[in-house]
Amino acid sequence: MSTAPPSRKEALTSFIQQIHGRPVVVKLNSGVDYRGVLACLDGYMNIALEQTEEYVNGQLKNKYGDAFIRGNNVLYISTQKRKL
């Protein structure tokens, strides 16, 4: 007997659980990147980051302690390899 593959919702939930507390890159519709540690993510893609850095055209522009990004601005979120 085979197990059915996870649904999209289950796969997304699993991904979010795996990246919580880890470094991520959040790309906005405007092209700006925010890099930091994922503190919280809700169903509307609102994102709270800690140790946040703002990059514009690949250049570091600002550093923030905590940042909140409204979900309607988010193009994508991806994992970021830890800096050694």
Residue 27 DSSP one-character state: E
Residue in the structure block whose two tokens are 């880890």 = 22
Stated length of the chain: 84
Q: What is the pLDDT of residue 83?
A: 56
Domains in the chain, ordered, with CATH?
A: 21-79 (2.30.30.100)
Q: What is the pLDDT of residue 68?
A: 97
Of 43, 56, 57, 47, the residue nearest 26 (C-alpha): 47
Q: What is the pLDDT of residue 84?
A: 42
pTM metric for this prediction: 0.79
Q: Which amino acid is located at 4 in the chain?
A: A
> Coil, strand or helix: which one is 17?
helix
Q: In the chain, which residues have pLDDT < 50?
A: 84
List, for residues 23-47, the tens digit of each pLDDT value.
999 999 999 999 999 999 888 889 9
